[in-house]
Structure 1
């Protein structure tokens, strides 16, 4: 069984990859939001902005968890 430090590193590494995916999804949603706004679908664009805000909030929490795991 791996020790706690090894488990923390593996978990932090996995969370880091998930965080990178989250940033990539956010960038894609942002690009689509700009396009949607440009074609006049403001309500849909507003919904996409809400999704971006959720991604940002969760990214902050994931970053905090990664930091805590790497400090152990």
Structure 2
């Protein structure tokens, strides 16, 4: 299998997409809050917190997969 499509490579791209979506959602949260929708902003911030919490776990899993692939 090509390294380009290995499991760690694919998961890395999914992780990068997650980070990009997190940034985009944060921009939307700021816009929503500026328009006075505090409840919607709070809900979206809750989702962003979960993304942040999972980010470290995903990163550690990717690091382990990459290390296993090298061995």
Shorter-chain TM-score tier: 0.7 to 0.9
Residue 65 in structure 1 maps to residue 64 in structure 2: no
- Normalised TM-score (structure 2): 0.83
Higher relative contact order (CA closer than 8 Å, sequence separation 6+): 1
CA shift digits 1:23-64 (9 cap, x unpaired) = 011011000000011011101000010111111122222111
Question: What 5-or-longer segments of structure 1 have no aligned partner?
Answer: none
Q: CA RMSD in A?
A: 1.9
SS in 2 for 1:32: helix
Displacement of 1:71 in angstroms is 1.3
**How many residues get paired?**
67
- Normalised TM-score (structure 1): 0.82
Question: Which whole-Å CA distance do the structure 2 matches of 1:62 and 1:11 have between them?
Answer: 13
What stretches of structure 1 move > 4 A for 4+ residues in a row? none
Question: What 5-or-longer segments of structure 2 have no aligned partner?
Answer: none
